[in-house]
Amino acid sequence: MKILVTGASGLVGSRLLRVFADHEVTGTRNSRVVEGLLPLDLADTAAIDALVDDLQPDLVLHPAAMPAVDRCELEPGLSLTINVEGTRAVARAAARVGARMVYFSSDYVFDGSAGPYEIDAEPAPINEYGRHKLAAEQAVSELVDDHVIVRICGVYGHDPRGLNFIMQLLARASSDETMKAPRDQWGTPTCADNLAAAVRELALSDYRGVAHPVGPDCLPRDEFARRAAAALGLDAGFIQAVDTPELAQPAPRPLRCGLDNRRTQELLSLRLLGVDEGLAAVAAELGR
């Protein structure tokens, strides 16, 4: 099967490349130069069309995005271009060549008043990132009949190229700085490798619609940080639990967020990993 993975230089995309290695996979990247990946800017719709027409993929996996929530709030025009119009262009191209499409969305399409959210809960985003992820979901479902919208939350894993949570935790632990972690922001942390394997099952099935292949545990960020530190053999003393206002984040945060994975778990043969199992797998990968 011919597969296109956008954003293959990212945390999620790099894992997707790995789990689909037995297929004919082409990956794209944007600012990070990674050998073997093709450059593609989601702002360049002509380049998206040319790439998809050239490759004629059977499956398009689309995690590429501008995912920094505060940057989206401060630069909403750019977020609209990348997260909404870029996704619309990918969806239009996928539909034109008859490809199945998997789009990566977020628990931030919800308002955070009643998480973890079921797949059919009513979205009500409270920040630009969430509004744009929701608009992109709508574009994909309108344009591509054969689609899966994979909503995810708090993805963690080893990513030497990235600045994700695990890498920040390791960096802070070896410095004198404290790490502030909000005790009032809840989510369902998701192990990147487990997510990629679950997405493979979903993508290769005939399932259509929304899926939540996230971890089963819903917990606040400070608790997750302490559990991650323990799994990595770090003294958690540098983690400081704070309330969200203290972080002065430009974008409002949905506080009681996270996703309910139970209906997605029923579709899968693999088990979606809880926090302690997922963190143990990451620690083993890091040799800790």
Ligand X SMILES: NC(=O)c1ccc[n+]([C@@H]2O[C@H](COP(=O)([O-])OP(=O)(O)OC[C@H]3O[C@@H](n4cnc5c(N)ncnc54)[C@H](OP(=O)(O)O)[C@@H]3O)[C@@H](O)[C@H]2O)c1
| Piece of the chain touching ligand X by CB under 6 A; list 18-26, 46-54, 147-155, 245-253 | 147-155
The region that residue 217 occupies, defined by phi over 0 for left and psi between -120 and 50 for alpha, beta otherwise, is beta
- 103, 108, 117, 129: the catalytic one is 129
One residue of 3, 5, 9, 48 binding ligand X per CB under 6 A = 9
**Minimum distance from CB of 154 to ligand X (Å)?**
5
- Beta-bridged to residue 3, according to DSSP, are 25, 59
**In the complex with ligand X, which residue's Cβ is closer, 155 or 282?**
155
One residue of 43, 119, 121, 242 binding ligand X per CB under 6 A = 43
CA atoms of 51 and 30, how far apart (whole Å): 14
By CB under 6 A, is residue 40 in contact with ligand X? yes
User: Which amino acid appears at position 170 of this protein?
Assistant: L
One residue of 5, 25, 65, 202 binding ligand X per CB under 6 A = 65
Q: Where are the alpha helices (DSSP H) in the chain?
A: 11-19, 45-55, 69-74, 76-79, 86-97, 128-143, 165-173, 192-204, 221-231, 262-265, 275-285
**In the complex with ligand X, which residue's Cβ is closer, 132 or 226?**
132
**Minimum distance from CB of 64 to ligand X (Å)?**
4
Closest alpha carbon to 92 in 60, 123, 134, 66: 60
**DSSP for residue 143:** H
One residue of 19, 20, 61, 67 binding ligand X per CB under 6 A = 67
**What is the DSSP track for 151-175?**
EE--EE---TTS--HHHHHHHHHTS
One residue of 5, 82, 102, 273 binding ligand X per CB under 6 A = 82
By CB under 6 A, is residue 63 in contact with ligand X? yes
**In the complex with ligand X, which residue's Cβ is closer, 7 or 231?**
7
By CB under 6 A, is residue 66 in contact with ligand X? yes
156 is catalytic: no
CB 61 within 8 A of CB 199: yes
Q: Summarize as ranges the residues that interact with ligand X (CB under 6 A).
A: 7, 9-13, 29-32, 40-43, 63-67, 82, 104, 106, 152-155, 162
**Residues involved in catalysis:** 129
